[in-house]
Amino acid sequence: MIAEENLSNKYQPLISISNANVVLLISKLMKQTVPHFKTYLVSDFYKKRKLNEDDFTQIYIEQAQILIRNYDYPFNINGQYRDITNQSKGFSDFYFYPNEQNVSTTSFFSVESKRLPSPEKSREKEYVIGEKNNGGIERYKTEKHGKGLYECGLLGFIEKENSSYWIKEINNWLKILSEIDKNWNKDEALSESESNTEFCFLKSIARRKSGVINLTHLWVLLN
């Protein structure tokens, strides 16, 4: 059996798990990684250090890699992906790729990381939109990330406020954009599907010229 058609195109690897199962397994792993990631942050080595977005992302990837090995997931994860297959511009913060023998290691799910709030006032809406096409969701809309893919994600690190606050804030930014910019649509709002004291899990879509991309959002509660 090969992947469902909406996961693979002529530029992507054919893998022996379906689109639905890939997304479910990636979501499972991303949630499963959260407590290990948070425990590591308060270890003696890291708890007194001031970490930035890249630091958080690297630690998260390392903890996910350990779980992939321990639980025999059918894919791998790595950081800083440059898409030489579909020619997306820019680098995804991390990505998932097949671990099957003689199968391309092209990304089939890329992820962009963002801090909430952004570290600078001038970048406060960067989870959605930013200067030089650097907004988290914006990168997928313009295919700076995820070109040729139909499932991707964002990883948010909540350092202030809570998930309810950020859902309201981000959806308000999206609503305003939909009213002033024809490239944005009101149906691109985030919808919460799971929340607890460790993380918040959400879904949304982004409309692109090439079609809709489904976005999975995992917000880690650090405060």
- The pairing of strands 151-158 and 211-221 is parallel
Residue 117 structural domain: 19-157
pLDDT, residue 87, reads 53
pLDDT tens figures, 130-181: 988 889 999 999 998 888 899 999 999 999 999 999 999 999 999 999 999 9
Asked if residue 187 belongs to a domain, the reply is: no
Asked if residue 164 belongs to a domain, the reply is: no
Is pTM, for the whole model, over 0.85? yes
Asked if residue 118 belongs to a domain, the reply is: yes
Token pair belonging to 169:
């804030």
Residue in 72, 89, 85 with CA at minimum distance from that of residue 9: 85
pLDDT, residue 103, reads 66
pLDDT tens figures, 167-212: 999 999 999 999 999 999 999 999 999 999 999 999 999 999 989 9
pLDDT, residue 133, reads 86
Distance of alpha carbon 70 from alpha carbon 210, whole angstroms: 38
CATH number for the domain spanning 92: value is 3.90.1570
Cβ neighbourhood burial of 186 (10 Å; 0-12, 13-18, 19+): exposed
Asked if residue 47 belongs to a domain, the reply is: yes
Asked if residue 2 belongs to a domain, the reply is: no
pLDDT, residue 90, reads 62
pLDDT tens figures, 8-51: 343 344 455 667 788 999 999 999 999 999 999 988 677 677 89
Asked if residue 37 belongs to a domain, the reply is: yes
Asked if residue 168 belongs to a domain, the reply is: no
Q: For the chain, how many structural domains are there in total?
A: 1
Q: Which residue has the tokens 């792993």?
A: 29
pLDDT tens figures, 91-143: 789 999 888 766 667 888 999 999 999 999 999 999 999 988 889 999 999 99
pLDDT, residue 109, reads 93
Asked if residue 7 belongs to a domain, the reply is: no
Model confidence at 82: pLDDT above 80: no
Contact partners, residue 117, CB within 8 Å, separation at least 6: 124, 159, 160, 161
pLDDT, residue 17, reads 63
